[in-house]
């Protein structure tokens, strides 16, 4: 039996990677960098914000006077769309034939980047929105994935939100993004391989790694934060970030487009509860990177896949002390000081009933 109070490693079956846990390091004195907190209240409308309704964006486009969720193509997209899929395939083949070697490989990457404004109000964040308003965001996520996932030149759709300056968010207006790409991203490839490996190891065609994991966590109880009828929220056993959490559907769901109306409301409820809990932890608008992981839209069935959401918040001890992934974490393997069980105990006290 592993003593979780002593240094130990934990295995992440999703990514097939290990994380080092060093509980004693949480007590070390801190004289490192501290982050600034943004305590000033934002206005409900900012005439200088390029995401607010009716305002001018950097490319000269004027936003409509939108009242709900608003989606537009990113003015500074990381990847570009190619209209002719035949041209894309030809370019990829030429790159593979002419410029690649076993050591120097490159290939074109094309796709679509969009911004998704959650609300017209500049002063809102997800925990400030109602469950119905968050459900509208979920419905837009689903519609975007249905549209883009049906295209021949898109094989993966990554939905995500960066909240807070410390997470590199360039605008505090409540918004997220989607990047839809032809190639399947590295993390999704790893999670696909991990879920396939679990199914093969169990030798059961019905075995789904994250549903088996959920059943284990429900039995253990110590890392589950809350559940509603359709979703469960927990600090993963293999979490890297101090207050990392995961949202899991309770039935097999490969892609977000498969959510029923009731499940959309269940996800919205779970999103409001965990983001509100985060804000209560250090009494600050809590920064994080959040993303939806789902099966690729590559024409394969992907029966091994279970859709889920990751929250990666950087704060460690307070509103001003963050976790840095440097040194050993960058050069060897991820490491954490606070155990997932300790983090879960702190968060569980702050969950909305």
Does pLDDT of 94 surpass 60? no
The full DSSP string for 171-218 is: --SSEEEEEEESSPPHHHHHHHHHHHHHHHHHT-TT--HHHHHHHHHH
Per-residue pLDDT at 28 exceeds 80 = no
Q: How many C-beta atoms lie closer than 10 Å to residue 188's C-beta?
A: 19
Per-residue confidence (pLDDT) for residue 170, from 0 to 100 = 81
pLDDT band of 319, cuts 50, 70, 90: confident
- Residue positions annotated with a catalytic role: 175
DSSP string, 216-266: HHHHH-SSEEEE-SSEEEE--TT--STT-EEEEESS--SSGGG--HHHHHH
The sheet with strand 335-336 has its strands ordered as 8-12, 17-21, 335-336
Give the model's pLDDT for residue 72.
97
- Do 123 and 175 sit in the same domain of this protein? yes
pLDDT value at residue 165: 85
- The mean pLDDT value for 148-173 works out to 93
Q: What is the mean pLDDT of the chain?
A: 91
Of all residues in the chain, the percent with pLDDT exceeding 70 is: 90
Other CB atoms within 10 Å distance of the CB of residue 311 = 24
Among 163, 180, 197, the domain boundary falls at 180
Do 147 and 293 sit in the same domain of this protein?
no
> Residues 260, 236: one domain?
yes
Same domain for 299 and 225, yes or no, is yes
**Is the domain of 261 the same as that of 202?**
yes
What does the pLDDT read at residue 35?
Answer: 54
pTM exceeds 0.85, yes or no: yes
One domain for residues 164 and 296: no
Residue labelled with tokens 């964040």:
125
Residue-wise pLDDT for 30-84, tens only, equals 445 555 566 568 999 999 999 999 999 989 999 999 999 999 999 999 999 976 5
pLDDT of residue 115: 98
- Considering the domain boundaries, does residue 30 fall inside one? no
Residue 63 in any domain: the answer is: no
Distance of alpha carbon 176 from alpha carbon 134, whole angstroms: 12
According to the model, what pLDDT value does residue 89 have?
52
Evaluate if residue 27 carries a pLDDT over 70: no
Name the 3-class secondary structure at 19.
strand
CB 177 within 8 A of CB 116: yes
Phi, psi of 257 (to 5 degrees): -65, -15
**Predicted pLDDT of residue 98:** 54
pLDDT greater at residue 206 or residue 113: 113
Domain contains 314: yes
Q: How many domains does the chain have?
A: 2
Q: Domain ends where: 119, 151, 180?
A: 180
For the chain, give the percent of residues with pLDDT over 90: 79
Regarding whether 232 and 169 lie in a shared domain, the answer is: no
- Are 130 and 195 members of one domain? no
Q: What is the pLDDT of residue 313?
A: 96
Q: Is residue 50 part of a domain?
A: no
pLDDT tier at 352, thresholds 50, 70, 90: confident
Can you give the CATH number for the domain in which 297 is found? 3.30.428.10
Higher pLDDT, 58 or 217: 217
**pLDDT of 220:** 96
Inform me whether the pLDDT recorded for 87 exceeds 70.
Answer: no
DSSP state of 10: E
Cα 263 to Cα 269: distance, rounded to the nearest angstrom: 10
Indicate whether 133 and 195 sit together in one domain: no
Give the domain range for residue 137: 70-93+104-180
> So what's the pLDDT on residue 347?
97
Q: Is residue 98 part of a domain?
A: no
For residue 163, is it within any domain?
yes
Of 180, 205, 236, the one marking the end of a domain is: 180
pLDDT band at 242 (very low <50, low <70, confident <90, very high): very high
> Which position has the token pair 């000269």?
60
Quick one: pLDDT band at residue 318, thresholds 50, 70, 90?
Answer: confident
Q: Are residues 174 and 216 in the same domain?
A: no
Residues 321 and 192 in one domain: yes
Mark whether 330 and 258 lie in a shared domain: yes
Q: Could you tell me which residue, 24 or 40, shows the higher pLDDT?
A: 24
pLDDT digits (tens, 9 = 90+) for 109-152: 999 999 999 999 999 999 999 999 999 999 999 999 999 999 99
Residue 129 lies in a domain: yes
Question: Quick check: is 2 in a domain?
Answer: no
Concatenated DSSP letters for 114-132? EEEES-S-TT--GGGS-HH
């Amino acid at each position: 039996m592993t003593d979780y109070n002593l240094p130990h490693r934990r295995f992440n079956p999703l990514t097939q990677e290990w994380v080092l846990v060093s509980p004693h390091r949480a007590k070390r004195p801190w004289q490192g960098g501290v982050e600034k907190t943004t305590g000033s209240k934002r206005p409900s409308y900012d005439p200088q914000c390029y995401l607010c309704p009716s305002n001018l964006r950097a490319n000269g486009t004027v936003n409509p006077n939108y009242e709900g969720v608003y989606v537009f193509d990113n003015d500074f997209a990381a990847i570009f769309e190619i209209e002719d899929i035949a041209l894309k395939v030809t370019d990829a083949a030429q790159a593979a034939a002419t410029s690649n070697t076993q050591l120097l490989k490159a290939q074109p990457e094309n796709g679509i980047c969009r911004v998704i404004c959650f609300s017209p109000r500049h002063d809102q964040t997800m925990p400030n929105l109602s469950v119905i308003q968050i459900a509208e965001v979920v419905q837009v996520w689903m519609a975007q994935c249905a549209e883009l996932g049906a295209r021949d030149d898109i094989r993966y759709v990554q939905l995500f939100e960066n909240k807070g300056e410390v997470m590199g968010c360039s605008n505090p207006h409540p918004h997220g993004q989607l990047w839809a790409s032809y190639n399947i991203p590295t993390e999704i490839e790893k999670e696909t391989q991990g879920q396939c490996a679990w199914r093969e190891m169990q030798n059961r065609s019905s075995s789904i790694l994250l549903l088996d994991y959920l059943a284990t966590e429900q039995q253990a109880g110590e890392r589950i934060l809350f559940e509603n009828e359709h979703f469960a929220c927990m600090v993963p056993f293999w979490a890297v970030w101090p207050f990392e959490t995961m949202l899991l559907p309770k039935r097999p769901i490969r892609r977000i487009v498969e959510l029923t109306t009731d499940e959309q409301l269940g996800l919205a409820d779970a999103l409001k509860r965990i983001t509100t809990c985060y804000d209560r932890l250090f009494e600050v608008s809590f920064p994080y990177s959040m993303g939806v992981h789902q099966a690729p839209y590559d024409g394969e069935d992907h029966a091994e896949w279970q859709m889920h959401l990751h929250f990666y918040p950087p704060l460690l001890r307070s509103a001003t002390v963050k976790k840095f992934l440097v040194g050993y974490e960058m050069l060897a393997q991820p490491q954490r000081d606070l155990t997932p069980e300790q983090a879960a105990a702190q968060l569980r006290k702050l969950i909305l009933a």
